[in-house]
Structure 1
């Protein structure tokens, strides 16, 4: 078995009750196709396999774990050796219920990649650092930033439950949270998403400054005058998109 790799941010679940609770949250049916990100030692994988699904694919970056999982599960799971931060999930075709104990150091990068491939997502059940979950579900204030503002236009994200450090080997120094990610009926072109993302990064660049200052403007146009004294962290995502489009 491969050894844990700190460089990959690996902490593996050992609590079978937590594993079952995570998979149960997916509300799987026999017709579902499942994609697991970063299966590692296969704790979630084993539980998902037991659900007798239409198809099960796992994406794992570490070739040692790929060999271990292939030997353990055989043809019950299709293992792809790839980096989930830039993998083309759309190449697999169709929609999946996603699962993943996302490594702490790349969880936001993986979610950003899933935004690009959001049409493949029926629903996602992910475990992330509690601090990340707090940010992703924030609607205003200090936890709310450019990434939650971007993601929340396309996904409903809600916290399901917390997972204590003792549920892992080795125990991390932080609490984890399981979140549910569900796509919204909202669509804009990829080019505009990238431009809007750049706009958001500028808007949130110096959090204590007003929006117009961060955008390099002396004043906002008349039709945006209600935002003239506001900071980005006080403005909902939909309104930030409206501001972006009017200024563009």
Structure 2
């Protein structure tokens, strides 16, 4: 099978790394598992060794779908779909998620998972190291709107780095495996959309203060000190608090 650059395909070949990734999920025979982007099935094969109750794989490439069918038969359920848009809530219950996520769409996949967060028991993912650093940041230059959003709903913990030598073909960058674990936090869908828009504006021009990015002329006196700061200086919880304060203030103007 030929790899496709357009899909950002780099496949793991290092068996020790593959085992280490699957070990991180602590799979039992009672677990239901979803793997995103299985490709040739190296991670799939290791997951099956743990005898999960169910294994569903989401693969966008039709050529690899056929390969997976030939290799695993009815031992897995294969869904030919785009994981950046797929409705993971179409499967009832909670799942442990795994995936060596394509570099070019990794953040889009994670953002989509947020919309189906109730299906996530745990996520073990590998992404470009730079992306993992951003996702786990809570302030500073690497911190942005998506880390601020995701970290309210998930604990994000970096586990270990992976050398380019572990892949075929070798990427030009290091990779990092991280774990996502859901938090006891939720907001209504309408508020989530509004808060995400708030965050995108807050981080739109990183060198500018919040009051400039948010284009606010009037705001409560009690948040004036925060409006004079840049978004990258404030943790997600404070940004959420500011969102509610500004929204409520504007509603009563």
**TM-score exceeds 0.5:** yes
- Asked if structure 2 preserves the Cα contact closer than 8 Å seen for 1:203 and 1:214, the reply is yes
Partners of 1:228 and 1:64 lie apart in 2 by 52
Partners of 2:152 and 2:219 lie apart in 1 by 23
Task: Answer yes or no: is 1:56 the counterpart of 2:55.
Answer: yes
Aligned pairs for 1:182-197 (under 5 A) are 182-197=181-196
Structure-1 residue corresponding to 2:171: 172
Q: What per-residue deviation string (whole Å, max 9, x for no partner) do you get for residues 95-132 of structure 1?
A: 00000000000000000000000000000000000000
Partners of 1:94 and 1:212 lie apart in 2 by 42
Unaligned runs of 5+ in 2: 248-253
Q: What per-residue deviation string (whole Å, max 9, x for no partner) do you get for residues 117-156 of structure 1?
A: 0000000000000000000000101000001000000000
- SS of structure 2 residue aligned to 1:171: coil
- Asked if structure 2 preserves the Cα contact closer than 8 Å seen for 1:219 and 1:228, the reply is no
Structure-2 residue corresponding to 1:23: 22
Cα distance, 1:19 vs. partner? Answer: 0.1
Structure-2 residue corresponding to 1:105: 104
Cα distance, 1:219 vs. partner? Answer: 5.1
Q: What per-residue deviation string (whole Å, max 9, x for no partner) do you get for residues 175-204 of structure 1?
A: 000000000000101111111111101000
Partners of 2:78 and 2:241 lie apart in 1 by 42
Unaligned runs of 5+ in 1: none
- SS of structure 1 residue aligned to 2:27: coil
Task: Answer yes or no: is 1:46 the counterpart of 2:45.
Answer: yes
Cα distance, 1:229 vs. partner? Answer: 1.9
Partners of 2:81 and 2:239 lie apart in 1 by 35
Aligned pairs for 1:43-192 (under 5 A) are 43-192=42-191
- Asked if structure 2 preserves the Cα contact closer than 8 Å seen for 1:212 and 1:219, the reply is no
Deviates most, 222-231 or 33-42:
222-231
Partners of 1:233 and 1:31 lie apart in 2 by 41
Q: Calculate the TM-score normalised by the size of structure 1.
A: 0.98
- SS of structure 2 residue aligned to 1:159: strand
RMSD value over aligned CA atoms? 0.8
Structure-2 residue corresponding to 1:207: 206
Partners of 2:17 and 2:31 lie apart in 1 by 21
Partners of 1:88 and 1:138 lie apart in 2 by 27
Cα distance, 1:225 vs. partner? Answer: 2.4
Cα distance, 1:221 vs. partner? Answer: 1.4
Q: What per-residue deviation string (whole Å, max 9, x for no partner) do you get for residues 49-92 of structure 1?
A: 11111011000000110000011001111110000000000001
Partners of 2:59 and 2:211 lie apart in 1 by 43
Aligned length: 247
Q: Calculate the TM-score normalised by the size of structure 2.
A: 0.96
Partners of 2:87 and 2:204 lie apart in 1 by 30
Partners of 1:40 and 1:55 lie apart in 2 by 18
Cα distance, 1:218 vs. partner? Answer: 3.2
